[in-house]
Amino acid sequence: MRAAASLCVFGTLILAAAPTEAQVLPGAVTPGRDRTGPLPPQNPDFDFSIVAPHRSAVPRAVDEVHFKLRDIKIVGVKTIPAEQFRALYAGMIGKDITLADILNVADAIEAAYRDRGYPLVRAYVPPQRVKDGVFTINVAEGYLANIVVQGADSRSAALISGYLGDAKTERPLRLAALERGLLLTNDIPGIKATGVLKPAANTPGASDLVVDVAQPWITGGLAVDNRGSRFSGVWTVAGDVEINSIIGADQLAGTVTVSPNSLEQVAGTVRYRTMIGDDGLVGSLIASITHGEPGSTLSAAGVRTDSYAVGPRLTFPLVRKRAATLLLDGGVTVQDARINVAGAPVSHDQWRVADLGLSYQRQDVFGGVLSATLDVAQGLPGLGATPNHDPKLSRVGGVTDFTKVTGFARLQLPLPSAFSVLLTTQGQYSFSPLITGEQIAFGGTQIGRGYDPGAITGDHGIGGSAELRYDQRIADSIVQAVQPYLYFDAAQAWYVQRGLAISAALKDQNIASVGGGVRLWFPYDIAMGIEGARTLHAVPGSDAGKLATKLLVDLSVRF
């Protein structure tokens, strides 16, 4: 009797007439959105330099010695046929030239190799006795003689040497092979590596690569903001910690998010990552758990939400270059989400998902940086999953063997005078009615910043954001950099309404907000943001269904 009364109260509070409409819980406190999909690649970042070999001094009389050129003999070329360089000097044959002209041809040969991605090739004019107007230019197609790794644990050092193995076997060395190896090195969790090429001692044409590794044992951070909702807690505190090189070339990371004044929301995630093989494959095991005791009008009904997700993932770099990166990412996740009211179960979703995605990043797209992800997720029948249309599911007519496609893209473009613009879009398309944990949600930090998190949800959805920024660094000040900005964002969400999933309680909705603010960066990795935001459309899932103007604050520190 008590459970039935509680369900009645619950239905009134969340605008549902019966437990079969339990999915109308506000998006901010709906459990189940715990699965981690593919993330955009990190910006390629490593320091690399070449210590050029010492060149012999050029004689002062290079322009004074004249001779009639009959031919140039190019010795040592293997990768590029010598005949392809003939165009560099064909116009000189039969003419009166100087030694400086021959040196210019040698420089042009080096430049041709560099343009094709061979940074260590050297072309030079050796001491010689010129007969009959035939000059010789020697070409040393440079290569790696040794790889020296400094500052890394033994497993990481061996892995780094493996990543650079292709570069060491190449004759001559291609910049692409070296670049991929150093980028994969910096993909090792917790590692920041730099590379320096130096001429090898007593080995003409060869170079040694010295890789210096910075590998802190532990890193972390704290953040606080007031971007929550009245149900999940307006203020949120988040902390993260990363422990690196537990057994070498791996990382254990944990995050915790809480409402500081109550148990309105508590969430935690643990991720273990390790490198596999010497081709850049990353294996992960991710587990997350959430608990919620929603406040505001849901508090009186004793609503409780719980969820967890656990599963392995693999990520492989199909392309890893400074100019472009393409990652293949996939995994299998076991998920569980439940809602109770006064101790009585209202819904219980159990589902299993296999997903496969691509993550892409490209530099110099219209002068900016493009990052994008595309993911296909398939719900798996059986394996302990709740059957389709089971009355325990969070949505009447929802299925656990769904198929859906999600995408995300971000383009950052530079503009004149330190201005830039950030364009973001996110979307989802589902082929069937979804349980609540798989629905797309808008509102909060990404798209719909003026709204509560999860202000609108749906099986399908698309949203976008445009932000105009002005970036300014400040020398000799406690504020190291400042970024004022203005933004506009909007989103639309739809439900698949067919069969048992037809429900008048599930309405297609849209949101839009405008705002602006300033981001500040201080010493010791401290950052702060202050933002004013205004919602342009009122929706039931945010701010009690009213238009709202908010002052939002973000504060974070890294250590």
Residue 301, phi then psi, degrees to nearest 5: -85, -10
**CA 320 vs CA 163, 315, 362, 476, 534: distances in Å:** 12, 12, 10, 37, 41
Residue 185, phi then psi, degrees to nearest 5: -60, -45
Name the token pair of 21: 């409409």
Last residue of one domain, picked from the residues 197, 214, 231: 214
Beta bridge pairs of residue 426: 408, 463
Q: 19 with 93, same domain?
A: no
What distance separates the 2 farthest-apart alpha carbons in the chain? 112
Q: 400 with 437, same domain?
A: yes
Q: 158 with 93, same domain?
A: no
Name the token pair of 223: 């953040």
Q: 126 with 148, same domain?
A: no
| pLDDT digit string, tens, across residues 353-370 | 999 999 999 999 999 999
Q: Which class for 152: exposed (0-12), middle (13-18), buried (19 or more C-beta within 10 A)?
A: buried
Q: Which range of residues forms the domain containing residue 408?
A: 2-44+216-558
Q: Which class for 208: exposed (0-12), middle (13-18), buried (19 or more C-beta within 10 A)?
A: middle
Looking at residue 207, its pLDDT comes to 92
CA-derived radius of gyration, the chain: 31
Q: 381 with 233, same domain?
A: yes
Looking at residue 59, its pLDDT comes to 55
Name the token pair of 374: 């595309």
Other C-beta atoms lying within 10 Å of the C-beta of residue 169: 11
Query: By the 8 A CB rule, do 456 and 477 touch?
Result: no
CA distance 212 to 206: 20
Can you tell me which residue has the tokens 């690399």? Answer: 48
Can you tell me which residue has the tokens 């009639």? Answer: 68
| pLDDT digit string, tens, across residues 17-75 | 333 344 457 877 888 888 887 777 777 667 888 886 655 555 555 566 788 999 999 99
Q: 182 with 256, same domain?
A: no
Q: 427 with 543, same domain?
A: yes
Name the token pair of 49: 């330099």
Looking at residue 306, its pLDDT comes to 94
Looking at residue 50, its pLDDT comes to 83
Residue 97 sits in a domain of what CATH number? 3.10.20.310
Residue 400 DSSP symbol: S
Q: 167 with 103, same domain?
A: no
CA distance 287 to 271: 6
Query: By the 8 A CB rule, do 88 and 81 touch?
Result: no
- Domain count across the chain: 3
Nearest one of 487, 408, 420 to 450, comparing CA atoms: 487
Nearest one of 39, 37, 33 to 309, comparing CA atoms: 33
Q: 127 with 176, same domain?
A: no
pLDDT tens, position by position, for the chain (559 residues)? 444 444 444 444 443 333 334 445 787 788 888 888 777 777 766 788 888 665 555 555 556 678 899 999 999 999 999 999 999 999 999 999 988 899 999 999 999 999 999 999 999 988 888 878 899 999 999 999 999 999 999 999 999 999 999 999 999 999 999 999 999 999 999 999 999 999 988 787 899 999 999 989 999 999 999 999 988 899 999 999 999 999 999 999 999 999 987 788 999 999 999 999 999 999 999 999 999 999 888 888 889 999 999 999 999 999 999 899 999 999 999 999 999 998 899 999 999 999 999 999 999 999 999 999 999 999 999 899 999 999 999 999 999 999 999 999 999 999 999 999 999 999 999 999 999 999 999 999 889 999 999 999 999 999 999 999 999 999 889 999 999 999 999 999 999 999 889 988 889 999 999 999 999 999 999 999 999 999 999 999 999 999 999 999 999 999 9
CA distance 107 to 84: 15
User: Peptide bond preceding 484: is omega within 30 degrees of 0, i.e. cis?
Assistant: no
Name the token pair of 14: 């969340």
Q: Which class for 194: exposed (0-12), middle (13-18), buried (19 or more C-beta within 10 A)?
A: middle
Predicted TM-score (pTM) of this structure:
0.89
Spell out a b/e string for 443-459, using b for 16 or more CB atoms within 10 Å of the CB, else e. Answer: bbebbbbbbbbbbbbbb
Can you tell me which residue has the tokens 């019966």? Answer: 18
* Strands, sheet with 71-75, edge to edge from the N-terminal-most edge strand: 71-75, 134-140, 122-124
Q: 357 with 499, same domain?
A: yes
Last residue of one domain, picked from the residues 214, 244, 274: 214
| Residue 155, H or E segment | helix 154-163
Last residue of one domain, picked from the residues 174, 197, 214: 214
What distance lies between CA 405 and its chain's CA centroid?
19
Q: 392 with 480, same domain?
A: yes
283 Cβ contact partners less than 8 Å away, ≥ 6 residues apart: 273, 274, 275, 276, 312, 313, 314
Q: 463 with 516, same domain?
A: yes
